[in-house]
Amino acid sequence: MNKVIEGLAYVLGNDIDTDQIIPAEHLVYSLSDSEERKNYGKFALTGVPADQAGLPNGDISFTENGEYESKYSIIVGGKNFGCGSSREHAPACMEIAGVRAVIAESYARIFYRNSVDGGFFIPFECATSLIAEIKTGDDLIIDLAASTFTNRTSKTTYELKSLGEVIEIIEAGNIFEYARKTGMIPSA
């Protein structure tokens, strides 16, 4: 597993819910069909209100020109990220759009577990409220080994909370691969 994640930040506010991450009208696409699957990336974060997305005036789209992959690979959120319904489509659409990590003050626990168990991306927690300090488009680098991330744009480093035992699931790729690796279920 790569111990460093680099990318551009996309900043959101507090209480971003799963209906904002992927609006219900877009849950009609098949995750197993390679072409339909792209629609989840295309519509990722389209339900986020303008005052919660990108810059304060909400003028930065997560994906551009109908593309399904975003140039922003690290989401920075506030408190209670991923609240709302427990749909697995929310973390899946973010992965499809190219998200490799989310850094938030706190998560809805079901969203957190869906993110880890599905191997969609790494959900980091930071005790510092970042949504006023990090700007959309800032260049970030996350160091898993040191449990820190640096905003290379502002040259500021922050501590991340330990991933604890979930790092083993993340390193395995998802909960099923972890279970196979540890002998909980037979290998395929």
**Domains along the chain?**
4-163 (3.20.19.10)
At 77, list the tokens.
């959120």
At 127, list the tokens.
């005790």
pLDDT in tens, 22-67: 999 999 999 999 999 999 999 999 998 877 766 555 567 899 888 9
Query: 42 by DSSP, 3-state: which?
Result: helix
What's the pTM value of the predicted model, to 2 decimals? 0.92
pLDDT in tens, 124-181: 999 999 999 999 999 999 999 999 999 999 999 999 999 998 999 999 999 999 999 9
